[in-house]
Structure 1
Amino acid sequence: MHFGASDIYIEPGPNHYIVQFRKYGKVFPSGQLPIDLGDRIISFFKFKSSLDISEKRKPQSGSFEQKISDCLYSFRISTLPSVYKKESLVIRLFLQNASYPITSLCYFLPTAEELLKLVSKSQGLILFCGATGSGKTTTLYSLVKYCSETLGRHVISLEDPVESSQSYMLQIQVNERAGVTYASGLKAILRHSPDVIMIGEIRDEETAQIAVRAALSGHLVLSTIHAKDTVNCIYRLMDLHISIEEIRQAAVAIIAQCLIHLKDSDSRKAIYEILADDVLHDAMKAIIEGREYQLPVERTLEYQRAWIESGKDQVTTNGSIR
């Protein structure tokens, strides 16, 4: 916990278990465990997660919560059998009820102001894309907390899994065994009169269609989607059989994000590539006309990252880099 790790790996070798930590996307070796001690530790975490301790041939996953130093943590557990006839264990750590002001997450303050302006809209679809571990969920939690506590809106989330319990909104866990999929869960949420809906991820055609309909019918919908960048998010929605006209009407903003390490500091901040307002309109128009659209270079993540690394990271009051 004091190291600030997001994941703990306990992996079997021929004569011992290897323990490693993940922090900020990098894996750090921590030490070794004797086979018998490693077996007992893995059995303990399986027991805490209500998994089958005797089953070692199949992958299993579960979770439990534990209070440590007055802070409540969620431990997400995953086991995987290995060639050494021993199980590998991964523990993902989540601080519960943790959310941060968007101004503390953004590298550029004008970007935070632009994001708050976007979520202040009464309806529409706001999509985030970025690599795994780029902070998308942290950004979503921050923005929906602003919607709930500052704007006074009713917020419901649908997640798989719920990564961090948040007291300011109603959170629904996807449970496919019980028939609660993203699509069916989203239909049920719409009957609970939400103002803002947070969807953990748009994975399939049906979820995409319901999310767009919700955005068009007076709800603000925030979600993530797998795509290379902001412009390719539009094509990804089209792959999910959302028409360009529906996207044009529903989309408020499409946002890509990544994390950068701060110089002389053991922390990170987020930078954002925002496709909204005039540039979103221009992108839609180009796609409708069958033309390739290129985002203005100064808005791209690549340009922002290069500018920061050059040591010239000044911004104007409207959020552009100079």
Structure 2
Amino acid sequence: MEVEEFTVQMIQDAQQKGSSDIHLSPEGCQYSLYYRMDDTLLLKNRLMQEEGERLVSYLKFLSNMDVGERRKPQSGAAQIQTEAGNCMLRFSTITNFRAQESIVIRILSRTRSYQLDETTYFQKEVQKIKQLSQYKSGLLIFSGPVGSGKTTSMYQLIRENDTEIKQQVITIEDPVEIEEPLFLQAQVNEKAGISYAALLRQSLRHHPDILIIGEIRDEETAKMAIRGALTGHLILASIHAKNTVGVLARFMELGVTKEQLQQTLLGVVYQKLLPRFCPLCQEECHQWCSHFKANERRAVLYEVLSGLSLKEMLESGQKTSSDIRSFNHLLGKAAAYGFISEQSYQKYQIP
């Protein structure tokens, strides 16, 4: 099979199975092809070393990487036409000490959107998040592992924002993961000098009502987000942290003061996508389970830190309010109700 045809079939197969990433890794004298499914790598195929190297070179060419450069890590993006339509892909390469390249392909899903109420285990947290999004200005932060649906949550939250007045929404992402014609979507391009901070600075001059920032990565972006919230904009952004409390520590590490957070922060949302437990299969619901629809096989578990709990956390550094519904508490509740398996309960607890 030609490498171009193999690539299309590989992407289509991964899409159909609900995989978030494809890993092509050198292992000895061969390459192994894995699909990432619900935080687990499943072996799909093994290729001869020459076939694996040819596939890596083609994928680098497809994503506008330097095919001749094999020492430095590289990243890129591309679109590919599949039976399901146009598919956006992100690529990342790393070379091992034997000068063998590995590549990871991130599949950016363009499936239709679902209401937040339809994709969660508990409604109370969704209602809290919707209430926080009604504020005219402030900072609403989302955190969670890669592939936990943070971008989807932010987009859908604004789509469901019940307002009769037309609002200008600007998104800043690297790259744009979800196409939304009602939003003004800007994309980071580091090679052209278009960084998150540069786009954010220009977007604030564009007088938006709502800003969605794909990821706060550095000190400049963090401070620009705070400035935007202080000047009357509603800003939704994601940041990497282990839990809601870790988000506050991460902001302070990026040079944001506790006083600035007290003035701007509306709430912190931590989320994870967890596989449902299928009572008929008596196991976690995977892509082959026919007892759930595709959009029902996983759902989001949220923890929301806001209001009095957030205020106490910022003032004392500890959760002292009794009304906090922690992630681990809700995880145990989901297991007790039979929504998730005992295996998932043990696996996804936050230490």
Matched, 1:30 2:60: no
Residue number among 310, 317, 320 corresponding to 2:336 in the alignment:
310
Task: Call closer, same or farther: CA 1:95–1:75 in 2, change over 3 Å.
Answer: same
The secondary structure found in structure 2 opposite 1:50 is coil
Matched, 1:53 2:67: yes
Structure 2: gaps (5+ residues): 1-14, 279-284, 287-296, 340-351
TM-score, normalising length: structure 2: 0.80
Give the AA of the match of 1:283.
Answer: M
Shift of 1:98: 4.8
TM-score, normalising length: structure 1: 0.87
Aligned to 2:99: 85
Matched, 1:96 2:110: yes
Give the AA of the match of 1:108.
Answer: F
Give the AA of the match of 1:296.
Answer: S
Aligned to 2:155: 141
Give the AA of the match of 1:37.
Answer: E
Give the AA of the match of 2:230.
Answer: L
Shift of 1:27: 0.4
Aligned to 2:255: 241
Shift of 1:194: 0.7
CA deviation map 1:210-256 (0-9, x unaligned):
21121121110011123332233233323333232321221111111
Give the AA of the match of 1:216.
Answer: L
Q: How many residues align?
A: 309
Aligned to 1:198: 212
Matched, 1:105 2:113: no
- Contact kept? 1:72, 1:95, Cα under 8 Å: no
Aligned to 1:14: 28
The secondary structure found in structure 2 opposite 1:284 is helix
The secondary structure found in structure 1 opposite 2:139 is strand
- Contact kept? 1:126, 1:253, Cα under 8 Å: yes
Aligned to 2:81: 67
Report the Cα distance in structure 1 between the residues aligned to 2:29 and 2:246, rounded to whole angstroms.
Answer: 47
Identity of aligned residues (%): 35
Task: Call closer, same or farther: CA 1:173–1:233 in 2, change over 3 Å.
Answer: same
Matched, 1:296 2:296: no
CA deviation map 1:292-321 (0-9, x unaligned):
3345375000000011112277xxxxxxxx
Matched, 1:231 2:236: no
Structure 1: gaps (5+ residues): 314-322
| Bigger shift: residues 185-194 or 237-246 | 237-246
Matched, 1:183 2:235: no
CA deviation map 1:57-91 (0-9, x unaligned):
33222111122224221111222223443321211
Report the Cα distance in structure 1 between the residues aligned to 2:18 and 2:238, rounded to whole angstroms.
Answer: 25
Shift of 1:25: 0.8
Give the AA of the match of 2:329.
Answer: Y
Report the Cα distance in structure 2 between the residues aligned to 1:83 and 1:205, rounded to whole angstroms.
Answer: 33
Matched, 1:215 2:238: no
Aligned to 1:277: 307
Shift of 1:147: 4.1
Report the Cα distance in structure 1 between the residues aligned to 2:239 and 2:49, rounded to whole angstroms.
Answer: 41
The secondary structure found in structure 2 opposite 1:2 is helix
The secondary structure found in structure 1 opposite 2:208 is coil
Report the Cα distance in structure 1 between the residues aligned to 2:327 and 2:269, rounded to whole angstroms.
Answer: 10
Aligned to 2:3: none
CA deviation map 1:148-173 (0-9, x unaligned):
99863211111223333332312222
Report the Cα distance in structure 2 between the residues aligned to 1:61 and 1:167, rounded to whole angstroms.
Answer: 27
Aligned to 1:316: none
Report the Cα distance in structure 2 between the residues aligned to 1:134 and 1:167, rounded to whole angstroms.
Answer: 23
| Bigger shift: residues 18-27 or 173-182 | 173-182
Report the Cα distance in structure 2 between the residues aligned to 1:131 and 1:239, rounded to whole angstroms.
Answer: 19
- Contact kept? 2:34, 2:42, Cα under 8 Å: yes
Report the Cα distance in structure 2 between the residues aligned to 1:90 and 1:254, rounded to whole angstroms.
Answer: 30
Shift of 1:114: 2.2
Task: Call closer, same or farther: CA 1:295–1:165 in 2, change over 3 Å.
Answer: farther
Shift of 1:276: 1.6
Give the AA of the match of 1:45.
Answer: L
- Contact kept? 2:305, 2:324, Cα under 8 Å: no
| Bigger shift: residues 76-85 or 2-11 | 76-85
Give the AA of the match of 1:199.
Answer: I
Report the Cα distance in structure 1 between the residues aligned to 2:196 and 2:95, rounded to whole angstroms.
Answer: 29
Shift of 1:124: 0.8
Aligned to 1:319: none
Residue number among 250, 258, 266 corresponding to 1:252 in the alignment:
266
The secondary structure found in structure 1 opposite 2:46 is strand
Shift of 1:21: 0.7
Report the Cα distance in structure 1 between the residues aligned to 2:26 and 2:250, rounded to whole angstroms.
Answer: 39
Give the AA of the match of 1:303.
Answer: H
Report the Cα distance in structure 2 between the residues aligned to 1:280 and 1:155, rounded to whole angstroms.
Answer: 26
- Contact kept? 1:258, 1:270, Cα under 8 Å: yes
Aligned to 1:162: 176
Report the Cα distance in structure 2 between the residues aligned to 1:6 and 1:285, rounded to whole angstroms.
Answer: 39
Q: Following superposition of structure 1 onto structure 2, how do residues 258-273 of structure 1 map, counting pairs within 5 Å? A: 258-264=272-278, 265-266=285-286, 267-273=297-303
